[in-house]
Amino acid sequence: MRRLFVAVLLLALVFALPAFSQQRWERAYGGRYDDVSYSVQQSRDGGYVACGWTASFGPGAPAHSNAYLVKTDSLGDTLWTRVYGGPYGDRGTSVQQIQDGGFIITGDSDPNGSGYFNVNLIKTDSLGYPLWTKTYLDTNLSVGNAVQQTRDSGYIIAGQIGGWDVYLVKTNSTGDTLWTRSFGGPYWDYGYSVQQTQDGGYIVAGEKKFLSDSSQVYLIKTNASGDTLWTRTYGGSGYDGGYYVQQTQDGGYIIAGYHYPNRALPFSGVYLIKTDAQGDTLWSKVYRGRYPDSVAIGFCVRQTQDGGFIVTGGSGPRGLGDRHAYLIKTDAQGDTLWTKTFGVMGFQQGHSVQQTTDGGYIIAGYSNFFGAGNFDIYLIKTDANGNVGVEENRQGDKETRRQGERLRVTPNPFTSFATLPGHEAERFSLYDVSGRKVGTYRGDRVGEGLTPGVYFLKYQEMLKQVQHDEIVRIVKVR
C-alpha cells in the first residue's frame, strides 16, 4: 500500500536517519537591523562561536554597531549571545577559543565618538562575559582584522594603522603591549590575516597598493620580534589582494584572496596561491564563478585533513547586486574537486570556513535574504561534500526510482502560490523557520498566504516496502 507523507524541514534540523552521520544545516541570527559575521570556529564542546558586529543590539544600536558574539550548539541552536562596546561604534572581526576555554576577540572601537577607530582586544570567559578589554590608541585610524593566541599565551593582532600601513600588535596574556610593528610603502597597504609560524615568527597576508591604482597580494614573514625576514607580492597589473594565509603541512603557505585582471574584463576570480617556506610561488589558481561575468572573491582558506584546501567567499553575476556564498574544495595541487553556492537571491557571502570534527565544514558570513533584518549573520554547516539539508535517498528498481522522481513544485520561486502536479489532492503542513506551523495546504495551492522566505518539504514515499526521501525547497519571493 502506498503512503505519502510530507513534512517541512527546518534549516537547522539534523535528521535521525542512519544514512546521515554528518550534520547539515543553515541558520540566520540577528535582529531588525544589520548583523554580520567575519569569523567562526568550532568550539571544544562541539558547537560553534561566530564573531562580527550588530546594529540590532547593544548601546550603539541602531545608529552605531557593537561587537557581537554568537555561541551555538552543534545543531546551530543559540546558547547565548553577547554584545561588547559603547555607544559610538565597535566591531568584532576575529575570534578564537583560547587555552583556558574562553575567547579572544579583536576588531576596532571608537571609544569617544571622535570618528577615529582604534584596534581593540576583548578577553572573555567560556560564557562570553568580558574579563578585560584593551584599546590600542593611535592618533590616526587603526583597525584590527585578525587575532591568534601565541605559544607564550599572549596574542598577535594584524590590521592597519593610519589607514595605509600593515599593523602588528604583540601582547602578553593580559593584553599589555609588548611591541608593535608597521609595514608598507608610500601608498595604502592592508593586513588582513596573521598566524604564528612553526619557527615562532609570524606570517601576514594582505594587500599592497601602487601608484598606478593597481594592487597585489602582500605576504610578510617576520621573526618572533616582528622584524621583517622577507616580503613577497603576487599578482599582475590589475587588482589582487590576499585576505587569509595559513602555514601548510609542508612548511609553506596557502593564501586566499581575489584576482581582477583589469577594468576592461568583466570578471574577477577567487585567487589561491601556494608557496614554499620562503614565499616563492609553487602554483596559483583563479576560480571563476558559474557565470561568464562572475564577480568572485575568496576570504578564507584552510588546509583539510586530506591535504587539499577548502575556500569560502562570494560569487555572483556582475552588475545585478546578487551574490551567493561560495565554497570550493580542491586537492593538494589546487585542482577543483567540487564547488557549492548557498543562497537563493539577494546577497550572501562567506567570510570564514573551518573543517569540523565530523569531516564537514562550518561557514560564517551574512545574508540579506535569510533572517529578520536587512543583513543577518549566516552560518552554514555542510557535510564533507559541501551539502546542506538532507539529500534524497533512493533505492530499489527503476520503476521505484521513477515513481520517487514525480514530485515537482511549480513555479518555484513563486510570488502567490505554487502547485504540485499530480499531488493536487494531497495535504501539506508547512512551518516557518522558527518551527511554528503556519498552516495546512493542498497541493494545488501550496504556500498561499506565506510571508516571503525559504521553506523545505520532506517527501517520504513507501512503495514496494522501500522508503524514498526527497527534499523540495520552495521559495516565496518578495
Answer yes or no: do 159 and 291 share one domain.
yes
Could you tell me if 229 and 281 lie in one domain? yes
SS (H, E, C) the chain: CCEEEEEEECCCCCCCCCCCCCCCEEEEECCCCCEEEEEEEECCCCCEEEEEEECCCCCCCCCCCEEEEEEECCCCCEEEEEEECCCCCEEEEEEEECCCCCEEEEEEECCCCCCCCEEEEEEECCCCCEEEEEEECCCCCEEEEEEEECCCCCEEEEEEECCCEEEEEEECCCCCEEEEEEECCCCCEEEEEEEECCCCCEEEEEEEECCCCCEEEEEEEECCCCCEEEEEEECCCCEEEEEEEEECCCCCEEEEEEEECCCCCCCEEEEEEEECCCCCEEEEEEECCCCCCEEEEEEEEEECCCCCEEEEEEEEECCCCCEEEEEEEECCCCCEEEEEEECCCCEEEEEEEEECCCCCEEEEEEECCCCCCCCEEEEEEECCCCCCCCCCECCCCHHHHHHHCCCCCECCCECCCEECCCCCCCEEEEECCCCCEEEEEECCCECCCCCCEEEEEEEEEEECCEEEEEEEEEEECC
Grid cell in block for residue 303: 588546509
Residue 358 sits in the same domain as residue 234: yes
Same domain flag for 161 and 254: yes
Domain that holds residue 405: 398-476
471 and 358 assigned to the same domain: no
Q: b/e for 272-298, b at 16 or more Cβ within 10 A? A: bbbbeeebeeeebbbbbbebeebbbbb
Instruction: Tell whether 14 is covered by a domain.
Output: no
77 falls within a domain: yes
- Asked whether residue 30 is assigned to any structural domain, the reply reads yes
Domain end point (choices 333, 357, 382): 382
Residues 298 and 446 occupy one common structural domain: no
pLDDT at 389: 61
CB 456 within 8 A of CB 389: yes
Residues 252 and 356 in one domain: yes
Number of domains in the chain: 2
| Amino acid present at 276 | D
Question: Do 172 and 312 reside in the same domain of the chain?
Answer: yes
| pLDDT tens-place string over residues 164-216 | 899 999 999 999 999 999 999 888 999 999 999 999 999 999 999 987 789 99
- Whether residue 315 is contained in a domain is answered as yes
- Rounded to whole angstroms, the Cα distance separating 166 from 182 reads 5
Whether residue 9 lies inside any domain: the answer is no
* Domain-embedded: residue 4: no
Residue type, 46: G
Residue identified by cell 522558527 is: 434
What pLDDT does residue 18 have? Answer: 31
Q: What is the pLDDT of residues 328-382, one digit of tens each?
A: 999 999 999 999 999 877 889 999 999 999 999 999 999 988 777 789 999 999 9
2: in domain: no
| Domain's final residue, options 382, 408, 428 | 382
Within this chain, do residues 60 and 177 fall inside the same structural domain, yes or no? yes
Q: How far apart are CA 139 and CA 59, in angstroms?
A: 25
| pLDDT number for residue 14 | 36
Is there a single domain that holds both residue 187 and residue 290?
Answer: yes
Q: What is the pLDDT of residue 13?
A: 36
The C-alpha cell at 92 is 568584532
- Tell me the pLDDT of the chain (478 aa) as tens digits: 333 333 333 333 333 333 345 788 999 999 999 999 999 999 999 999 999 999 999 998 999 999 999 999 999 999 999 999 999 999 999 999 999 999 999 999 998 888 889 999 999 999 999 999 999 976 668 999 999 999 999 999 999 998 689 999 999 999 999 999 999 988 899 999 999 999 999 999 999 998 778 999 999 999 999 999 999 999 988 999 999 999 999 999 999 999 998 766 657 899 999 999 999 999 999 998 877 677 899 999 999 999 999 999 999 876 666 788 999 999 999 999 999 999 877 889 999 999 999 999 999 999 988 777 789 999 999 999 999 864 433 333 333 333 334 567 878 777 788 888 877 777 777 765 544 567 777 778 888 888 777 776 665 554 444 444 455 767 776 5
Same domain, 267 and 415: no
What is the model's pTM?
0.80
pLDDT of residue 477: 66
CATH number at residue 238: 2.120.10.30
**163 within domain boundaries:** yes
Residue after which a domain boundary falls, among 354, 382, 410: 382
Q: Does residue 65 share a domain with residue 129?
A: yes
